[in-house]
Structures are given as structure tokens and as C-alpha cells.
A and B are shown apart, each in its own frame.
Chain A
Amino acid sequence: SAVISQKPSRDICQRGTSLTIQCQVDSQVTMMFWYRQQPGQSLTLIATANQGSEATYESGFVIDKFPISRPNLTFSTLTVSNMSPEDSSIYLCSVEGGQTYEQYFGPGTRLTVT
């Protein structure tokens, strides 16, 4: 399985500001995903980020709020823009392992907006 790291691991931010979360993988992967997990809740897919194409966003998530970059096959960023307390969540990136559909998750970034 891939080894995935995220930075920062946690942050406390003021409302109205933006935070960029980085996701680094130790091997080249085609498909990367960003999920949100609100406190004590399940995971919700934000978007799919494939290298060389625009990210595909799920219903309820828009590019202006959650811009994503995917500059190469081992790295992606998710920005949470103009934050409000409702954005307080754990943000997780995941990667898909080749042809097996297996998805592996990073450790997550715990964001608190005050």
C-alpha cells in the first residue's frame, strides 16, 4: 500500500482566512481523492483529482470554496477558502492503488475554524 503524508496535521484558523492542505504520496498514482469527515461523522467525498485534468467535484462542493491542484503524480493540495466555523472538520486525502480499486488514506488534517 502507498504511504501518504499530509501537512499540516492540524491547524486553528480564523474565519475568513484560507488554508492549503498538502498531500504527498511515496509512489506515483493516477487517482487522488479529497474527503471531509466532520467530528464524529462519516466521510464525504469532496472531489477527485487526477493529474493533467481539472478536479471533479461532488454535489455540494464547489471549486471556488475548495480549489484543488494536482501538479504531478505524487502530490496534491486542497485549499479551504474563506473559512467559517462550519468548515471545522478533518480533511483526508486518499489514493487508489492501480487496478485494484483499493483506496488508502492519509492521516488527515484536523481543521478548527474560530
Chain B
Amino acid sequence: QQQVKQSPQSLIVQKGGISIINCAYENTAFDYFPWYQQFPGKGPALLIAIRPDVSEKKEGRFTISFNKSAKQFSLHIMDSQPGDSATYFCAARGGGADGLTFGKGTHLIIQP
């Protein structure tokens, strides 16, 4: 049973555009929702995270939108740049577990 569903699997965005990646979760006990960025040959790097008591969090060009009633959250990358081309993973933590449950990932390509 996949507890965190991520879409799209791949995404191509023009430079300067907005990249949007969506995730949905099933376990209402999740209480922490991070996003990770991974470049080939590297470990995932924490980008931004949110708790369910807020609906939005912004850090620079990265914004998380959170909809608790719909059990959905999304990552918005504003003014997307070629250097943002990477694989992005959403994740969730909670429900008695300390580790993270990851989505399947989105391969993002920013075209110059």
C-alpha cells in the first residue's frame, strides 16, 4: 500500500516558469511533510517542510501548499531555473513511525 502518492512522474518546464508537483497521503496520523531534491549520484537534500497546522510555507522560490481536508500538499518552484533540474521527492512522517515515507519522485527538467 502506497501511503504517499506523487504526481507527475516527470515534468518539463520552461525557464522562468512555475513548476508544480503534487502529493496526496492516506494516513491522517502523518504530522510532518518534507520535500527533498536529489541530483544524480547524490543523497537527497531537504528543501522545505511543513506541519499540518499551517496551509502554506515559503522559502525563497520554493513554496509548500497544504490542504489538510483533502490530504494533499504540493511544491511550487517559482522562476524555475535550469539548475533546478533534479528529482524531487515528497515525504511524510508520523503515525507512530519516526522514519519517512516517500513518494515515488518527480523528474523535473527545466528547459533554458
Interface residues on B, range: 20 to 34
Interface residues on A, range: 20 to 34
Chain A residues with Cβ below 8 Å from B17 are: none
Contact of B99 among A42, A58, A104 (CB under 8 A): A58
Contact of B44 among A41, A96, A105 (CB under 8 A): A105
Residue on A with the closest CB to B49? A102
B59 part of interface (Cβ distance < 8 Å): no
Known A42-B89, A43-B89; judge A104-B102 contact (CB<8 A).
Answer: no
Contact of B100 among A4, A103, A106 (CB under 8 A): A103
Among B32, B93, B98, B99, which residue has the most Cβ atoms of chain A within 10 A?
B99
Q: Does B42 lie within 8 Å of A107, measured CB to CB?
A: yes
In the bound complex, how far is the Cα of B45 from the Cα of A44, in angstroms?
Answer: 16
Chain A contact residues, CB within 8 Å of chain B:
1, 4, 31, 33, 35, 41-45, 48, 58, 92, 94, 96, 101-108
Q: Give 8 new A-B contacts, CB below 8 A, not counting A43-B102, A107-B43.
A: A42-B103, A45-B97, A48-B98, A92-B43, A101-B49, A102-B49, A105-B36, A108-B42
Chain A to chain B contacts (Cβ below 8 Å), 18 pairs: A1-B46, A31-B98, A33-B99, A33-B100, A41-B104, A42-B103, A43-B100, A45-B101, A48-B98, A101-B34, A101-B93, A102-B49, A103-B34, A103-B46, A105-B36, A105-B43, A105-B45, A108-B42
Chain B contact residues, CB within 8 Å of chain A:
32, 34, 36, 42-46, 49, 89, 93, 97-105
